[in-house]
Amino acid sequence: MEKLVSLCKRRGFIFQSSEIYGGTGSVWDYGPLGVELKKNLKDRWWFSMVRARDDIEGLDAAILMHPKVWEASGHVAGFTDPLIDCRNCKKRFRADDPKIKGTPGQPDGQCPACGMKGTLSEPRLFNLMFKTFMGPVEESASLVYLRPETAQGIFVNFLNVQQATRQKVPFGIAQIGKAFRNEITPGNFIFRTREFEQMEMQFFVDPAAQAPQRTDMEWFEYWKAQRMDWHRSLGLDESRLLFHQHDKAELAHYARAAFDIQFDFGGTLGFQEIEGVHHRGDFDLGRHQEHSGKKLEYFDQPTNHRFIPFVVETSVGADRTTLAVLVNAYREETVAGEEEGRTLLKLSPSLAPVKAGIFPLVKKDGMPEYAEKLATELRKRFPVFYDESGAIGRRYRRQDEIGTPFCITIDGQTMTDNTVTIRDRDTLLQDRVASDRVRDLISERIAG
């Protein structure tokens, strides 16, 4: 992880937020390459969940919502962690922190930070939602929360979207957006942060559906399989992915059944959740109907019956999946015949922030002009990086390190027959092809 964090900073993927002021706890900024990588990931999700289907609609709901939303959703009462305060050093710990010795609230309870005994409070529930005020007056009547999940924006818009699009149950609503949680134990780079992006989809189904239609549990199984396939399609190794079923104690307050898709981050982290697939029943729509006083029932014309749909939710973190993709891609390799090894990001071409490096072999004989013209042409289709500085081997290495799948070199032969070499990042093999075929060849490889 340390090597990856260092590469991400050095090459402009991810920086610590407000670094010149000493940084902000567990908040990160995406640099020029990181923003492209995460955007490619989000685009792939949006394509597979919204564009490629006719039964899911897109939405972009606001971060700030009516405070009653969070009472109805159960977050005001239940989105809490039990915490312990030290009266001496004022530090806070999760109640299950293994570093705490003795019993908190008792004379033998010892603070893991300052070492004092008898200064730890009993566990108290601490809400993870960030609060702020809407409008000029800071009073309880104007209290609002930064959303801790995007899902509630979908629930409160369920009928708006259904009526506007005339979708029939079963159908889904998807959105990508920021969420905020005042996590007590954030860390591991962008794995657990206080500001992050979620890609969530709520699929509304008829609780009474019978064969030949899929039942709610069959939709749940369907979405589990779809979502696992999507993670595999990103290039995440099969052996690093698994399902983890929530037992009764792990189930969130809204869930009837839940599975995590876990990825093996290696090191001390090991297998950890990157996505949750949850059967939320009619909990959310039922609660919003109750708290708002507005009917959120769906009317099924063919059967003439009204019902509150069940919801199967898929919820994946864009940042956490970006980290999984980076961890999965990171390699250090020796290269036959070369003293120096190479560091490599073996990213899927569709996710790579730069698709091709364009290099004139030398800075003369018309090669730079030819290469720049080719770069301008290719840039119309995908991001490329033009580089004429330093030895060609070093230029290749710089692209390997940021995961660029192809490098195109313009050499003496190009100037006589309009062919260029394309080097493959993973095999290191070079093919000579006509320069006017490069755009289509690379486009095909990116599309997979």
Q: What's the closest the beta carbon of residue 160 comes to ligand GAP, in angstroms?
A: 19
| Residue 320 touches ligand GAP, criterion: CB under 6 A | yes
**Rounded to an integer, what is the distance from CA 405 to the centroid of its chain?**
22
Q: What's the closest the beta carbon of residue 191 comes to ligand GAP, in angstroms?
A: 7
| Residue 287 touches ligand GAP, criterion: CB under 6 A | no
Nearer to ligand GAP, 265 or 330 (CB): 265
3-state DSSP assignment of residue 262 = strand
Q: How many residues does the chain have?
A: 448
| Residue 276 touches ligand GAP, criterion: CB under 6 A | yes
| Residue 317 touches ligand GAP, criterion: CB under 6 A | yes
Strands 257-264 and 241-245: antiparallel
Q: Phi-psi region for residue 234, left (φ > 0), alpha (ψ -120 to 50) or beta?
A: alpha
CA angle (191, 196, 202) in 5-degree steps: 105
Cβ contacts of 420-426, under 8 Å, gap ≥ 24:
420/374, 423/396, 425/344, 425/346, 425/399, 425/400, 426/346
In the region spanning residues 11 to 70, those forming contacts with ligand GAP, defined by CB under 6 A, are none
Nearer to ligand GAP, 204 or 385 (CB): 204
Q: What's the closest the beta carbon of residue 45 comes to ligand GAP, in angstroms?
A: 12
Nearer to ligand GAP, 230 or 385 (CB): 230
Q: What are phi and psi of 47, to 5 degrees?
A: -65, -50
From residue 178, give the alpha-carbon distance in Å to each of 38, 218, 325, 372: 13, 30, 20, 38
Task: Determine the Cα–Cα distance for residues 317 and 192; give it in Å rounded to an integer.
Answer: 10
Residue nearest to ligand GAP (CB): 317
Task: Determine the Cα–Cα distance for residues 260 and 311; give it in Å rounded to an integer.
Answer: 16
In the region spanning residues 397 to 426, those forming contacts with ligand GAP, defined by CB under 6 A, are none
| Residue 315 touches ligand GAP, criterion: CB under 6 A | yes
Nearer to ligand GAP, 279 or 395 (CB): 279
| Residue 72 touches ligand GAP, criterion: CB under 6 A | no
Task: Determine the Cα–Cα distance for residues 430 and 114; give it in Å rounded to an integer.
Answer: 60
Nearer to ligand GAP, 326 or 367 (CB): 326
**Rounded to an integer, what is the distance from CA 199 to the centroid of its chain?**
7
Residue selected from 282, 284, 319, 400 as contacting ligand GAP according to rule CB under 6 A: 319
Nearer to ligand GAP, 316 or 367 (CB): 316
Task: Determine the Cα–Cα distance for residues 224 and 446; give it in Å rounded to an integer.
Answer: 26
Nearer to ligand GAP, 200 or 206 (CB): 200
In the region spanning residues 254 to 273, those forming contacts with ligand GAP, defined by CB under 6 A, are 273
| Residue 284 touches ligand GAP, criterion: CB under 6 A | no
In the region spanning residues 137 to 176, those forming contacts with ligand GAP, defined by CB under 6 A, are 149, 151
Residue selected from 73, 162, 175, 193 as contacting ligand GAP according to rule CB under 6 A: 193
Footprint on this chain of ligand GAP (rule: CB under 6 A): 149, 151, 181, 183, 192-193, 196, 198, 200, 273-276, 313, 315-317, 319-320
